[in-house]
Amino acid sequence: MIYSLPFTFGRRELDAGEAEYAVVGVPYDSSQSYRSGSREAPAAIREASREIEDYDMLEDFDLLELKIADMGDVEVSFGSSEETRRRVREAVGHILDNDAVPVLLGGEHTISAFAVEVLPEDTLFVSFDAHLDFREEYLNNPYSHACVLRRVAEHVGYDNVLAVGVRSACREELEDARRLGVEFIPVTECFDLEGVAARLAGAVEGRRVYLSIDMDFFDPAEARGVANPEPPGLGFRDFLRLLDSLRGARLQCLDVTEVVPRLDAYTPVLAARLIFKVLARYKKGK
């Protein structure tokens, strides 16, 4: 072969109709309030994914067993969040209609609120995130990334969201979350890994799960290239332990958000590896 192909996730060339997992980039970062640039993340995560070995030695698993199609990016409508929201819904709906699991590359965390709207209302939304993101609105914008958990909860129900690793919230959103019965696990409780793993396993068993990973869940020492870094967080090894506890879930959708590649060249590598780990563990568990 003389020519290299355009970057696809993991160098995959599968058609959507044959895929179990469909990767879609959503280069949307219009509401990022501190360090912007996550619109560059889908390309950076794809580039990193090309360099990951097909055989995962630690999992004893051939990643080529994962039938992945790369659909490309949703064409973001800059200036119209409403139009972008409509396009994300359409893209995710199309993948679900084809019986594949959408794997969304953010973009900012807001994309989860767009995507979840086409998932069944009894879906459990499990978010790994440093932030509670439960504001009614932020800077007059109800679709700010600081409001994502609230928008999601309005669709799936307040008792169908679970935020893990939280360490940043304003007093008002904390009170709202408690009053409305939203379950969240502060990062301090996550330091007891075995305890939180058992709690997660119980929460997700047999449930349809939307797994949303905001990369600021990790300690900034491991993931520096994020929009709103928030120490202290957990490490990748800890995350892998928690991932084991999610085996009983039925994965409906996965997203990885808030990577800002220009701030750090490693964070997209971590994001790409993490996606393969999630899919490999689920595939092995089947």
Other C-beta atoms within 10 Å of 62: how many?
Answer: 12
Going by their DSSP bridges, the two strands 250-257 and 101-106 should be labelled as: parallel
Write down the least CB distance from residue 118 to Mn ion, Å.
Answer: 23
Distance CA 171, CA 284 (A): 41
Write down the least CB distance from residue 130 to Mn ion, Å.
Answer: 5
Write down the least CB distance from residue 94 to Mn ion, Å.
Answer: 28
Q: What one-character-per-residue DSSP string does 190-206 give?
A: HTSHHHHHHHHHHHHTT
Cβ distance to Mn ion smaller for residue 28 or 61: 28
Handedness of CA 173, 179, 180, 185 (dihedral sign): positive
108 forms part of the interface with Mn ion (CB under 5 A):
no
Cβ distance to Mn ion smaller for residue 24 or 163: 163
Contact map string, positions 158 to 197, toward Mn ion, x by CB under 5 A: ----------------------------------------
Biggest distance spanned by C-alpha atoms of the chain:
61
Distance CA 12, CA 233 (A): 32
Contact map string, positions 207 to 226, toward Mn ion, x by CB under 5 A: -------x-x----------
Calculate the CA 181 to chain-centre distance.
23
Which residue in the set 70, 73, 117, 129 belongs to the binding site for Mn ion (CB under 5 A)? Answer: 129
Task: Kindly indicate which of the ranges 31-39, 123-131, 182-190, 247-255 contains the residues binding Mn ion, using the contact rule CB under 5 A.
Answer: 123-131
Interacting residues with Mn ion (CB under 5 A): 129-131, 214, 216
